[in-house]
Amino acid sequence: MTGKRGRQLLPGQSSRVHVYDVETRTSRLVFSSDRVLVEAPNVRDDGTLVLNGDGDLWLLTPPAAGSDTVLDETALVRVPMPGIDEINNDHVLDPGDDSVVVSARDGELYRVPLPEGGSAARITDTAAVLPVVRKYYLHGIAPDGSTLAAIVGERTPDGVWTTDVALVDAVSGDTTFLTRDPHPDDGSAITPDGATVLFNTERFTPGTAQLASLRLGADGAAGDGGAGGPVQITADDRVNWFPHLSPDGAHLLYLSYEPGVQGHPADHRVELRLLPGVLARGARIAVVPETLVALDGGQGTVNVPPWSPDSRWFAYCDYSVS
């Protein structure tokens, strides 16, 4: 491993990666380490996982289905990223599968070649908005790769911090805000049809994040959302984060905390829950979320799109303590 950067394991804690088969409703452990904490899996076209850990980016090839092999940190393959000192756990694969866009600790977005790595191309320019301090947190990408869905955090000179949903041109870094208000937003993603942005927000219930959808207009900007703005998807007393629609649009996966939890902290008892994908398109149906897995996790479990391209399975992380 590369040294003590980024989030680290607690004493007695393990970092584990699982793959979950949606058809059989079964989970399989594929990786476990008590040395390096990995987070936020993406899935490449060939099934290889892309994760972050120790401030770096890693590739992990899970054992084939039916195998009971559990890999450790020796199976991680580092992706060189010259020009980037350290990344966080917000990274998204380009649709062409030949690069990944990462969020760096310096607040910028960069594109990195895959699988061999190489010099990173900076997309954004936070210096252009100084004295406002801006940071980009990437969670989604349009199906044609032209647009990124990001949360933009900004701190004004008088110390006010806001988080808003924005679309970012994947080449120029030009940023178009879809929300611009004091409500905390996070986890923005573009649906596979490119028509809707999903995110979690506290605008409906202050202090409690719920999932929301926002329809985009023909020009790619926010449309009327079907009701003048974001439409609420979840409406319970739990704290719901990181909506991820499967590539086929059938399933809406998300992370759910117990009531009263603030933000999306690490090392909590959480659930991975599933809803029908039609809710992401504005359908109004009464449905009870299905809990797929209860686990020790939170931050790092499914911060970014974790689905396989064929929508048959997804990957997630947990952090058990012995």
* Distance (Å, whole) CA 123 – CA 321: 38
Q: Where are the domains of the chain?
A: 15-318
What single string gives the DSSP state of each residue in 196-219? EEEEEESSSSTTS-EEEEEEB-TT
- Bridge partners, 175 (sequence order): 168
- In which element (H, E) is residue 314 found? strand 313-318
Expressed in angstroms, the distance from the first to the final Cα of the chain is 22
CA dihedral 98, 220, 301, 54 (to 10 degrees): 50
Tens digit of pLDDT per residue, the chain (322 long)?
Answer: 455 588 899 999 999 999 999 999 999 999 999 999 999 999 999 999 999 999 999 999 999 988 999 999 999 999 999 989 899 999 999 999 999 999 999 999 999 999 999 999 999 999 999 999 999 999 999 999 999 999 999 999 999 999 999 999 999 999 999 999 999 999 999 999 999 999 999 999 999 999 999 999 765 666 544 445 899 999 999 999 999 999 999 999 999 999 999 999 999 999 999 999 999 988 888 899 999 999 999 999 999 999 999 999 999 999 998 8
Judging by beta carbons within 10 Å of its beta carbon (0-12, 13-18, 19+), is residue 23 exposed, middle or buried? Answer: exposed
Q: What are the b/e assignments for 233-267, b being 16+ CB within 10 Å?
A: bbeeebbbbbbbbbbebebbbbbbbeeebeebeee
Is the domain spanning 15-318 CATH 1.20.1260.10? The answer is no
Nearest residue to 232 via CA among 217, 253, 246, 213: 213
Q: How many residues does the chain have?
A: 322
Beta strand ranges found along 205-289 (DSSP E): 210-215, 231-232, 239-245, 251-257, 268-276
Beta strand ranges found along 69-144 (DSSP E): 77-79, 87-93, 99-104, 109-113, 121-122, 133-141
Which pLDDT belongs to residue 5?
Answer: 81
Q: Is the whole-model pTM more than 0.85?
A: yes
Which pLDDT belongs to residue 224?
Answer: 46
Which pLDDT belongs to residue 283?
Answer: 85
Which pLDDT belongs to residue 240?
Answer: 98
